[in-house]
């Protein structure tokens, strides 16, 4: 009886299919994949890019690709083979190569972007009239729809990590891109005013800190970040990330961008963190040192300059078996996932069972 019922229902669904199509309607078909999965099933893969592979490729990009005014930047994109595009389902990470004397022309776009300087010193970026230095280890922001251009007058090629929330922007069908008539913007009379107001992180001028405002701070220099991380090393360690700090909006303590979060993390010698999994994606860049990240049971042995992206909802834990500190820079999409109510995390209990919620 029940089986007859099912067969009749399946036949009815098939019969409906054609009639409904005329009206741009559908019903679930017996051979359609299930609407939901019990837990996240991501096509995005865990991917490890080694510095030893990237370095010669970047060298080749620098020698063979030209930087055209008004055109694309000279970038090596970290592509996730499980996805049609992007490093993860929300962001793109690329390594930009800029040569002495070059200018990356002024433009703006809806995608939020930031740069973490990998190698070299002496470039500058101008963001809505404010000019900031780009030196190794610095983080500089280009929030969505701000005008930006970059300039470099050093001796050696310079490289930095660019991360943009392009996949998220595309899935939201909100792409705008505007090139500028001018190669570069005019720099303000006070070229770094938001740094002068908010850069200390401790204090800011009275009356200019409206609660909930967008992050006015555009530059997070290496020196201050490293000092903060060393200070944090005196705290009780985080069980999942060891010593970890988040770059913050000085006005409200929130993440520095609306869609992406950035962290600096230190794995002290001989540490082994607990395993955790969460929705959303992240990418690690190894600033210094070496270690291992175990993702769903597979060990990824990383070294200075490597990148690792972790598949959403994959168990992962970190090890540093060496005698030296390892420092990781991390970008994640937790702010976007949280804002939408899609952020979930789970810890692996000491006894191996799942413990939730965190």
| Contact call for residues 141 and 127 (beta carbons, < 8 A) | yes
Query: CB within 8 A of 137, min separation 6: which ones?
Result: 116, 117, 221, 222, 225, 226, 287
**Two tokens at 318?**
């970190």
158 binds ligand GTQ (CB under 6 A): no
For residues 13 and 79, which CB has a smaller minimum distance to ligand GTQ in the complex? 79
Burial profile 172-186: b = 16 or more Cβ within 10 angstroms, e = fewer: eeeeeeeebeeebbe
148 sits near ligand GTQ (criterion: CB under 6 A): yes
CB of 148 to ligand GTQ, least distance (A): 6
State which of residues 164, 245, 328, 347 lies at the interface with ligand GTQ (CB under 6 A). 164
Shortest CB 85 distance to ligand GTQ, Å: 12
| 280-319 positions binding ligand GTQ, by CB under 6 A | none
Q: 318, exposed or middle or buried, with CB in 10 Å at 0-12, 13-18, 19+?
A: buried
Q: Which is nearer to ligand GTQ, 104 or 243 (CB)?
A: 104
- Binding to ligand GTQ (CB under 6 A) within 247-276 occurs at none
Q: Which structure tokens are listed for 83?
A: 């996805």
Q: Minimum Å distance from CB 342 to ligand GTQ?
A: 25
Kindly state the smallest distance separating residue 178's Cβ from ligand GTQ, in Å.
11
Instruction: Candidates 75, 112, 281, 325: give the one binding ligand GTQ (CB under 6 A).
Output: 75
Query: Which residues is 238 bridged to in the sheet?
Result: 242
Measured from the CB atom, is 113 or 251 closer to ligand GTQ?
A: 113
Count of residues that interact with ligand GTQ, criterion CB under 6 A: 9
Q: Could you tell me the end-to-end alpha-carbon distance of the chain, in angstroms, rounded to an integer?
A: 46
If binding is defined by CB under 6 A, does position 76 make contact with ligand GTQ?
A: no
Q: Binder to ligand GTQ among 104, 134, 337, 347 (CB under 6 A)? A: 104
Is there binding between residue 94 and ligand GTQ (CB under 6 A)? yes
Q: Which of 130, 138, 151, 162 binds ligand GTQ (CB under 6 A)?
A: 162
Q: Which is nearer to ligand GTQ, 50 or 73 (CB)?
A: 73
Q: Is 73 in the site for ligand GTQ (CB under 6 A)?
A: yes
- Are the C-beta atoms of 78 and 96 separated by less than 8 Å? no
* Using rule CB under 6 A, residue 138 touches ligand GTQ: no
Which residues in this chain contact ligand GTQ in the complex, by CB under 6 A?
Answer: 73, 75, 94, 96, 104, 113, 148, 162, 164
């Amino acid at each position: 009886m029940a089986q007859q019922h099912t067969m009749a229902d399946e036949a009815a669904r098939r019969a409906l299919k054609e009639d409904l199509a005329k009206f741009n309607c559908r019903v679930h078909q017996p051979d359609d994949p299930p609407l939901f999965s019990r837990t996240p099933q991501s096509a995005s893969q865990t991917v490890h890019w080694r510095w030893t592979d990237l370095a010669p490729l970047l060298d080749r990009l620098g020698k063979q690709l030209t930087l055209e005014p008004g055109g694309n930047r000279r970038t090596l994109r970290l592509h996730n083979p499980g996805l049609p595009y992007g490093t993860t389902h929300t962001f793109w990470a690329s390594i930009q190569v800029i040569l002495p004397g070059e200018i990356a022309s002024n433009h703006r776009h809806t995608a939020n972007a930031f740069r973490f300087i990998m190698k070299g010193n002496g470039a500058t970026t101008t963001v809505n009239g404010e000019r900031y230095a780009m030196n190794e280890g610095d983080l500089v922001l280009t929030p969505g729809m701000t005008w930006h251009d970059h300039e470099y007058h050093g001796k050696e090629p310079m490289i930095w990590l660019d991360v943009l929330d392009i996949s998220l922007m595309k899935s939201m069908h909100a792409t705008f891109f505007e090139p500028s008539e001018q190669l570069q913007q005019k720099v303000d009379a006070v070229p770094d005013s938001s740094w002068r107001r908010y850069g200390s992180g401790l204090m800011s001028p009275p009356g200019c800190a409206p609660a909930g405002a967008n992050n006015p701070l555009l530059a997070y220099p290496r020196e201050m970040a490293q000092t903060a991380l060393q200070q944090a090393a005196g705290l009780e360690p985080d069980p999942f990330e060891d010593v970890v700090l988040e770059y913050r909006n000085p006005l409200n303590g929130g993440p520095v961008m609306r869609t992406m979060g950035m962290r600096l993390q230190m794995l002290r010698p001989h540490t082994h963190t607990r395993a955790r999994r969460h929705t959303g994606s992240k990418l690690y860049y190894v600033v210094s040192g070496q270690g291992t990240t175990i993702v769903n049971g597979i060990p990824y042995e990383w070294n200075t300059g490597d990148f690792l992206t972790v598949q959403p909802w994959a168990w992962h834990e970190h090890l540093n078996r060496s005698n030296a500190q390892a420092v990781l820079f991390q970008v994640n999409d937790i702010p976007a996932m949280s804002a939408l109510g899609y952020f979930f995390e789970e810890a692996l209990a000491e006894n191996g069972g799942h413990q939730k919620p965190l």
